[in-house]
Amino acid sequence: MPFSELEIAYLDEQPLGRLGTVSPKGKPQVRPVSFTVNRELGTIDIGGHTMGSTQKFRNVRANPAVSLVVDDIPSTDPWRVRCVEVRGRAEAISDPSATGYGKDIIRIHPTRILTLDLDKNHPKTQARDVSPSAGLA
């Protein structure tokens, strides 16, 4: 499992993230998405009922390099921001037998994970590679 228990707990409590993809023409696209941590595979799964018809789904088919940012502001006084960024290689998966999100999902295989202020003992950005293929993201 590439995620720590602290990262999983944080990701489980957040309803939305922002997925960054790259179009076939090399243009960036960022969109809000719902997601789940797939504990069995150690991936992030992103879905939606119309996922297969979206630009982000087509982008992943053309270029698997992605980044998902999940963040929040638990306090404004004092100012405090928490964040998990998951960089990785994504798959655009179509499965007619799937339930839940629908038949189409984007599955992120993490290669690098960055966190900010999840652990009060380490308030600065922490980063680590989690896969030998880290150069993809």
Task: Quick: pLDDT tens for 65-123.
Answer: 999 999 999 999 999 999 999 999 999 999 876 666 678 999 999 999 999 999 888 77
Domains and CATH numbers, the chain: 5-136 (2.30.110.10)
Alpha helices in 25-126 (DSSP H): 55-62
Mean pLDDT to the nearest integer, 48-59: 94
3-state class of 25 per DSSP? coil
| pLDDT score of 136 | 43
d(CA 115, CA 123): 9
- Per-residue pLDDT tens over the stretch 89-101: 999 999 876 666 6
List phi, psi (to 5°) of 16. -140, 155
> Rounded to two decimals, what is the model's pTM?
0.90
d(CA 103, CA 126): 35
* Residue of 56, 63, 72 lying closest to 20 (CA atoms): 56
Confidence grade of residue 131 (pLDDT, cut at 50, 70, 90): confident
| pLDDT score of 132 | 52
Mean pLDDT to the nearest integer, 56-69: 97
Beta bridge pairs of residue 134: none
Beta bridge pairs of residue 71: 83
Confidence grade of residue 49 (pLDDT, cut at 50, 70, 90): confident
Q: Which residue has the tokens 């963040």?
A: 71
Say which amino acid occupies 136. L
Q: What is the DSSP letter of 26?
A: S
Work out whether strand 17-22 and strand 125-129 pair parallel, antiparallel, or are unpaired.
Answer: unpaired
Confidence grade of residue 137 (pLDDT, cut at 50, 70, 90): very low
Mean pLDDT to the nearest integer, 21-26: 95
